[in-house]
Structure 1
Amino acid sequence: MKQSKPLILEKPGFNIVITLFTLWFSFFIDSLLENFIAYFLILTFGIIHGANDLSLIDAVNKRNSNTPIPFYSKLRNYLLLVLAALLFFFFFPIPALVIFILISAYHFGEEHFSPKRTNLIFFSKHGLFLNYGLLIFFLLFSCNLEETNTIIYEITKTTINPLYYYLGLFISSMVILLYFCFFMYRKKMTMYEGAKQVFFLLVFSILFKTSSLVWSFTVYFVFWHSIPSLLKQVTYLYGSTSTPNLFRFFRASLGYWLAALVGLTLLFFYLKDSTLLLVILFAALASITLPHVWVLNKMMSSNQDYSKQN
């Protein structure tokens, strides 16, 4: 069967090319335009990739049970979970921030290594996902110390010693290196695959070091996480990433996406404060991360075909 064109977006070669292009492009635009494009990408591909969770819950439920869940019941429970996460974030910012980073780190690693997840035992699988995501975060933070500490201070009113970022980067790097060596020793990963993963990390290092925190996070979050995840969700829901199926996915996400896009775009023009806007955007992303990660984990666990995609 002939594969549809959108599957090209999932190939590592596309990610590398688009990452280098965004790195080059950032040198020719001012910070205001760069932030606007970054927020636009997050509010389109970034938000849409998590905007169809209710449909995914339906699909997972149909595969695991014959009992349908009423729409309003799903919507109520989902919104209550998002609201609880948002309130927890604002009333207990420090533990909420730590939990958000840990959950997001696991989610990033799970998406990145999903094709290999069925070949790993429980401990090594989940340890790999968490430590890889932490490596991405610590690399991002270490390359953008001033901006990172500004955002964290706005959220928690606490200043973090930069040594903690470097220590986290060193530990997570060593753990991932040990994982790769162990997998290659046990024939779970070839030398080529290991070298490819190291090359990806090198590309991330160049991007994070030469770009702003917002731009760096956007490029990774959108092109290395959101788009691959979105395409896999389309395949899970509709069987393939054909153009009609992509439109079906976007139509199902349209209401949620438009509400988020309009609201945060108005905030962008009203606040004119990139730091405050980033804090609000960060809080919004944090509040939807927990239910989204839970839904995606259920989706991958219920369908072996998803975990085998590349």
Structure 2
Amino acid sequence: MKKIEASSKTFAIAFGLLYLFFFQEKEWISYVFFTLVMLTVGISHGAIDHLLVNPTIRGKELLLFVGKYLGIMGAYLLVWVLFPLVGLLLFISMSAYHFGQSHYLNEVQDKKFQFSYFLTGLFFLLLILWADFEQTSAIVGSVLIIDGYQDYLLYAVLLSGFLSIISGLFNFGRSFLKSLPEIIILALLLSHLPLLLGFAIYFGFWHSLPSMMVEYEVLKKQWPSNRIKKFLFQLLPFTVIALVGMAIMIFFLANRVSSDTLIFIFFVMISLVSAPHIWYMDKFLMGNPQN
């Protein structure tokens, strides 16, 4: 699995470099790559949260899980509708913690390291937003006007990056030092990429795929044979439901709102799915019982 992760990250970095050197004027490449990542590992890595709760879950227990999942999504949707700025800040905060946690999947997960997770994820998220500030500003403009704040965002990037390094060294020592070259290379690449491509590379290859491989390593114990096939089969139901729901919403809105607004709405939909996923995934990684 480590070879798969290393190979996929190498591919992602190579793709990003190829884009920078040869295809920067072809904006459609970013959209295609972003779509492919979301259709494959992006959405599907959260489609088996119910199995992380209980690998044999079914019947009433599964319905109760789905009810809780939809309840969290519904509550968060209300936050977006009533307090959109709070919804945006919650999304950034939750995602920062969740993405940062993915950098330490090979370490012992512990609550005392949670601030390190948050700082690491926050650094990369803010970096991606700062790197393409013009599009970031256009997308979040309906919720928060950030024109003229690019320098302040850069200060936040530098501060979170510095603190994440200090925290990483303090909590993980040599293992963090070994990962530091990868972090630097990734940060340099993301600082030059457009928003959607940068997010797709980071979200897909430094979060979704590593998380999916951890899920597979745990769940494969339930299957004596054809493990990969059975794992992929388990991903399908909720992946299809999520994709169909998002596709219907995007189709309905496509000719009614601007492209930037449509992208923002898509990220809102992602945030709704992410809220319960982040909760259950953290419980799973921390080794606590799921209720």
Structure 1 residue 189: deviation in Å?
A: 2.1
Evaluate the alpha carbon distance shift between residue 206 and residue 181 of structure 1 in structure 2; reply closer, same or farther with a 3 A threshold.
closer
TM-aligned CA distance change 1:239 to 1:264, over 3 Å:
same
Work out the CA distance in 2 between the residues paired with 1:77 and 1:182. 37
What is residue 203 of structure 1 aligned with on the other side?
185
Deviations 1:31-70 (A, max 9, x none): 23430331231132100001111222224x98xxxxx962
Which residue in the other structure is 1:277 paired with?
A: 262
Contact 2:116–2:168 (8 Å) recurs in 1: no
TM norm structure 1 = 0.80
Question: Could you tell me which residue of structure 1 aligns to residue 227 of structure 2?
Answer: 245
CA distance in 2, matches of 1:269, 1:8: 41
Shift of residue 248, structure 1, vs aligned partner: 1.8
- TM-aligned CA deviation for residue 214 of structure 1: 0.3
CA deviation after TM superposition for structure 1 residue 163, in Å: 3.0
Aligned to 2:116: 128
Residue 240 of structure 2: SS of its match in structure 1? Answer: helix
* Equivalent residue number for residue 145 of structure 2: 158
- Offset at residue 98 of structure 1 (A): 0.9
CA distance in 2, matches of 1:10, 1:153: 36
Q: 2-side partners of 1:30 and 1:243: how far apart?
A: 44
More helix by share: 1
Pick the aligned partner of 1:70 from 61, 68, 89.
61
Q: Aligned to 2:191, what secondary structure does the other structure show? A: helix
SS in 1 for 2:261: helix
Distance 1:210 1:241, change over 3 A: farther
CA offset at residue 253 of structure 1? 2.4
One-letter amino acid of the counterpart of residue 24, structure 1: L
Q: Which amino acid aligns with 2:15?
A: F
What is the match of residue 171 of structure 1? 159
Residue ranges of structure 2 left out of the alignment (5+ in a row): none
Residue of structure 2 aligned with 1:57, choices 53, 56, 60: 53
Q: Tell me the equivalent position of 1:137.
A: 125
Q: Percent identity?
A: 25
Q: Which residue of 2 aligns with 1:307?
A: none
Which has the larger displacement, 235-244 or 163-172? 235-244
Q: CA RMSD in A?
A: 2.9
CA contact (8 A) 1:86 1:286 kept: no
Q: Contact 1:231/1:241 (CA < 8 Å) preserved in 2?
A: no
The secondary structure found in structure 2 opposite 1:115 is: coil
**Are residues 108 and 23 of structure 1, via their aligned partners in 2, closer, same or farther at CA, if it must alter by over 3 Å?**
same
* Mean Cα deviation higher: 167-176 or 246-255: 246-255
Stretches of structure 1 that go unaligned for 5 or more consecutive residues are 1-5, 63-67, 304-310
Q: What are the residue-to-residue correspondences of 1:91-130 with 2, within 5 Å?
A: 91-118=82-109, 122-123=111-112, 125-130=113-118
Match for residue 87 of structure 1 among 73, 78, 94: 78
Cα distance per residue 1:88-143 (max 9 Å; x no partner): 1232111111111111111111111122235x6x43x1111111111111211221
Q: Report the TM-score when normalising by structure 2.
A: 0.85
Shift of 1:153: 0.9
| AA of the residue aligned to 1:137 | L
Indicate how the Cα distance of structure 1 residues 227 and 276 shifts in structure 2: closer, same or farther if over 3 A, else same. same
SS for the counterpart of 2:234 is: helix
Question: Any idea what the Cα deviations from partners look like across 1:207-265, whole Å, max 9, x if unmatched?
Answer: 22332100100011001110110111111122399993232222222122223334545
Query: Which of 173, 181, 185 is the matching residue for 1:189?
Result: 173
